[in-house]
Amino acid sequence: MIKNNTSEIIKKHGLKLTKALGQNFLTDFGVVQRIVDASDIDKDTLAIEIGPGVGSMTRELAERSAGVAAIEIDKRLIPALNDNLSDYSNVSIINEDIMKADIDAIIKKYKELYNAKSVKVVANLPYYITTPIIMRFLEEVKGVDKMVFMVQKEVAERMVSGPGTKDYGALSVAVQFYSNPKIVFDVPPHCFIPQPEVHSTIIGLDILSEPPVEVADKNLYFKIVKASFGQRRKTLVNALSNSGFFNKNKEQIKQIIAEMGLNENIRGEVLTVAQFAQLTNLIIK
């Protein structure tokens, strides 16, 4: 049975962990197993792991998947990763920055190599890049059906929140437009070395094959969402009136809102993902 050997590997390779790269490594093997459980990975899956560190989760992913493509930015960790994963022939370590990597090419290459039928992503990354990376995968990457990310607790709450709650915002709408997000479990600071200052949460995103609503112009949809949440204290009519990215005046916006069966003083923060779509489609009309 494999166990967590993070501390051992760090010591053996004399590694100094870098705060700037968010290097807080998991030392609790129970947590590692629960993350992998949540990813629904099986022997037909290519697991893309972003930020493998010294490979404690990579080993568990290798045990359960067709193969793992592990993308790690820090070249100092590569010898430790190779050492820790030497028992596995189904792991490819890619020394790249995920922000710059050609993700589609990586998926294509390793899906073929490991003869995998599906692709799932698992990541524990520095928190400042987690949201941009999640959004990049949701907006641009095709062929992934599930992602499991470690995020800051507050960010997870924003992703799953619904209309009218304090955490509901542009991030909630964007994530829910592309996926079905679920909070899986919280990970307290003592499960890492060194311990982070914030509480972490595992979020699972089941990627939707189609958006839940039909939108005539996706770009405009997200501009409207952003503008609606940009000025939370303003009514929807006022938030959109001077936005300048579509040619409808205040009166016309009021009419559209009435046509949707909504009160003219409504605020954007109570609109559902579907209502934002209806609003966008009526503005285009």
Strands 200-207 and 146-152: antiparallel
Cβ pair 42, 65 in contact under 8 A: yes
Q: How far is the CB of 7 from ligand SAM (least distance, A)?
A: 11
Q: How far is the CB of 26 from ligand SAM (least distance, A)?
A: 4
- Residue 22 annotated as lining a ligand binding site: no
Question: Per residue in 36-45, is it b (16+ CB within 10 Å) or e — as a string?
Answer: bebbebeeeb
Residue (126 or 212) nearer to ligand SAM, CB = 126
Rounded Cα–Cα distance for residues 213 and 276 (Å): 9
Residue (32 or 225) nearer to ligand SAM, CB = 32
Residue (82 or 242) nearer to ligand SAM, CB = 82
Q: How far is the CB of 117 from ligand SAM (least distance, A)?
A: 25
- Residue 63 annotated as lining a ligand binding site: no
Residue 118: its H or E element:
strand 118-124
Residue (29 or 114) nearer to ligand SAM, CB = 29
Residue (129 or 215) nearer to ligand SAM, CB = 129
Q: Alpha helix (H) ranges present in 179-217?
A: none
Cβ pair 91, 116 in contact under 8 A: no
Residues of this chain that interact with ligand SAM (CB under 6 A) are 21-26, 50-53, 56-57, 71-74, 77, 97-99, 124-126, 129
DSSP of 53-109: TTSHHHHHHHHHSSEEEEE-S-GGGHHHHHHHTTT-SSEEEE-S-TTTS-HHHHHHH
- Residue 124 annotated as lining a ligand binding site: yes
Q: How far is the CB of 196 from ligand SAM (least distance, A)?
A: 8
Q: How far is the CB of 68 from ligand SAM (least distance, A)?
A: 12
**Interacting residues of 18 by C-beta distance below 8 A, sequence separation 6+:** 74
Residue (103 or 173) nearer to ligand SAM, CB = 103
List the beta strands (DSSP E) in 125-249.
146-152, 179-187, 192-193, 200-207
- Residue 72 annotated as lining a ligand binding site: yes
- Residue 24 annotated as lining a ligand binding site: yes
Residue 182 DSSP one-character state: E
Rounded Cα–Cα distance for residues 222 and 114 (Å): 37
Q: How far is the CB of 35 from ligand SAM (least distance, A)?
A: 8
Binding site for S-adenosyl-L-methionine, residues? Answer: 24, 26, 51, 72, 97, 124
Binding site, residues? Answer: 24, 26, 51, 72, 97, 124
